[in-house]
Amino acid sequence: KVDSIILGIETSCDETAVAVVKNGHEILSNVVASQIESHKRFGGVVPEIASRHHVEQITVVLEEALRQADVTLQDIDAIAVTEGPGLVGALLIGVNAAKAVAFAHGIPLVGVHHIAGHIYANRLITEMKFPLLSLVVSGGHTELVYMEKHGSFEVIGETRDDAAGEAYDKVARTLSLPYPGGPHIDRLAHEGQPVLGLPRAWLEPDSYDFSFSGLKSAVINAVHNAKQRGEVIAPEDLAASFQDSVIDVLVTKTVKAAAEYGVKQVLLAGGVAANKGLRNRLQEAFSPMQNIELVIPPLSLCTDNAAMIAAAGTILYSQGKRANLALNANPGLDL
């Protein structure tokens, strides 16, 4: 079997990322230029600023990824690029860079769904065993995705309002913590106790959907009410209470779905997968379930990167999927 070398490009939000991946699992390079410093003072990602940074960074990051992988464009079998979902102006930079390079060098082009990328980050560390279930938790998504085989994605549950990461970032803002707030809440939570007894949105008994906006409001109300009573809730306890509520629902629904669908593997994916509390609780929950293997990628592969896009792109490429030069950014792309 001949080797495949895929170039991945990811610009859906605030990281300009390019990677080179061999045979779908071997990372030759994985370069990420983060813009977090530029967005921090605005308390979130500013789309126009994100687009401008991508324009400035994309060529540099592309050249660096090729250099670190010690390959040239002649060695690349296909270019895999995130076509959606994400910020349209940000996506457009990656899509147009991919199309330009593909056209100029006659390289096949593959469009990749950002969430498929997050799930396939797991293939960079282990073989995927089907059927599997993936818990995708990021700044823009909270989904339970069932996969019967490579390239087949069935969303069995999703958030009805805020994504988990979005809730983390909003609660962090209430506590005047810097953006992105997830890691700060995570750190604080380990120093506090979940004494507040915040609500858990279980929704209908048979539903695998999620809802985090009520929890976010409960946190804001708790802070407000305490202030009116002239009291302050310790930020550590607030963070611990919030995190306990989020993780309780995420882990309970994932365990239930994994059992119901009889999966062999559970894959964690997305930026919130970096959460230590979530990682620990999932490990505790799945350790007695001997038939189910829990896979948790290292932090660098959980947050946005292009190796995951190349990994997903490798499968699509091997399945014969091709994009042409009409490929466009699609901010609302379905999985």
Residues annotated within a binding site: 114, 118, 136-140, 169, 182, 186, 275, 304
Count of residues interacting with Zn ion (CB under 5 A): 2
Tell me if 29 contacts Zn ion by CB under 5 A: no
Chain Cα centroid distance, residue 281: 19
Of 272-291, which residues contact ligand KG4 (CB under 6 A)?
272, 274-275
Q: Find out whether 255 and 278 touch, Cβ atoms under 8 Å.
A: no
How many CA atoms lie within 13 Å of 76's alpha carbon, on the beta-carbon side? 34
Q: Find out whether 168 and 184 touch, Cβ atoms under 8 Å.
A: no
Among 98, 304, 307, 317, binds ligand KG4 (CB under 6 A): 304
Cβ proximity to Zn ion, 57 vs 138, nearer residue: 138
| Count of C-beta atoms within a 10 Å radius of residue 176 | 9
For residue 142, the cross-strand partners are 137
Tell me if 30 contacts ligand KG4 by CB under 6 A: no
Tell me if 169 contacts ligand KG4 by CB under 6 A: yes
Output the DSSP codes for 209-278.
Answer: -B--HHHHHHHHHHHHHHHHTT----HHHHHHHHHHHHHHHHHHHHHHHHHHTT-SEEEEESGGGG-HHH
Return the structure tokens found at 13.
Answer: 């939000």
Per-residue contact flags (x/-) with ligand KG4 for residues 220 to 259, judged by CB under 6 A: ----------------------------------------
Cβ proximity to ligand KG4, 183 vs 214, nearer residue: 183
CB of 10 to ligand KG4, least distance (A): 9
Tell me if 35 contacts Zn ion by CB under 5 A: no
Report the partner that residue 214 touches, choosing among ligand KG4, Zn ion, none (CB closer than 5 to 8 A by kind).
none
CB of 272 to ligand KG4, least distance (A): 4
Tell me if 182 contacts ligand KG4 by CB under 6 A: yes
Eight-class DSSP state of 323: B
CB of 170 to Zn ion, least distance (A): 17
Tell me if 304 contacts Zn ion by CB under 5 A: yes
Give percent helix, percent strand, percent coil of the chain, each to the nearest 5. 45, 20, 35
User: Which is nearest to 98 in space by CA: 25, 11, 31?
Assistant: 11
CB of 286 to ligand KG4, least distance (A): 19
d(CA 184, CA 83): 30
Among 35, 82, 122, 138, binds Zn ion (CB under 5 A): 138
Mark the segment that binds ligand KG4 (CB under 6 A) among 35-43, 99-107, 138-146, 190-198. 138-146
Q: Which residues bind ligand KG4 (CB under 6 A)?
A: 13, 138-140, 165, 168-169, 180-183, 186, 270-272, 274-275, 303-304
